[in-house]
Amino acid sequence: MGRILGAFGVKGWVKIQPFTETPDGLTAYRTWWIENEGSWSPCEVEKAQVHGQALAAKLAGCDDREAAALYRGREVAVPRSELPQAGENEFYWADLVGLKVSNTRGEDLGTVARVIETGANDVLVVEGDRERLIPFIEEVVRQVDLAGGVIRVDWGSDY
């Protein structure tokens, strides 16, 4: 849901790059799970505020700049069970990663490795015989079948 960029000020606040739809997406959660060398630990959020496209937060037990600096580079998450249900034709990026991608001609294009955000729209990064960047827009994405593990796109294998 985000990545800690580093310390923010001198009183133990951290600056977060949110991966949520809006910068304030993480502020609804009082407990975040913070990654540290592959393991995750819960951490109480005392306060969080939007700062432009970033988020500043005060984490419990993090009381000075040196303590905040130790969080640099760590991922921030919340349990899936606490996330709101996705609406119709809405998908969490995490649900798209790992899905197979085939085009309307039945050609296998690869597997979604990640999703990136651009100014215009989200883009599927599909790895197969080569890397493809496929816009995640209605004109291209014809079907997302989460249960079947496949995304069908109107996208040529030679694109």
Cα gap 151→132, rounded to integer Å: 14
- The pLDDT tens digits of the residues spanning 45-73 come to 999 999 999 999 999 999 999 999 999 99
Name, in order, each residue with C-beta under 8 angstroms of 85's C-beta and a sequence gap of 6 or more.
none
- The pLDDT tens digits of the residues spanning 3-38 come to 999 999 999 999 999 988 888 989 999 999 999 988
Cα gap 79→108, rounded to integer Å: 33
Domain segments of the chain: what residues? 2-82, 93-153
What CATH class has 93-153? mainly beta
CB 55 within 8 A of CB 15: yes
pLDDT confidence of residue 1? 86
CATH of domain 2-82: 2.40.30.60
In this prediction, residues 93-111 reach a mean pLDDT of: 96
Distance between the two ends of the chain, CA-based, in angstroms? Answer: 31
β-pairing verdict for 75-77 and 31-36: antiparallel
pLDDT confidence of residue 87? 86
Q: For the chain, what is the mean pLDDT?
A: 94
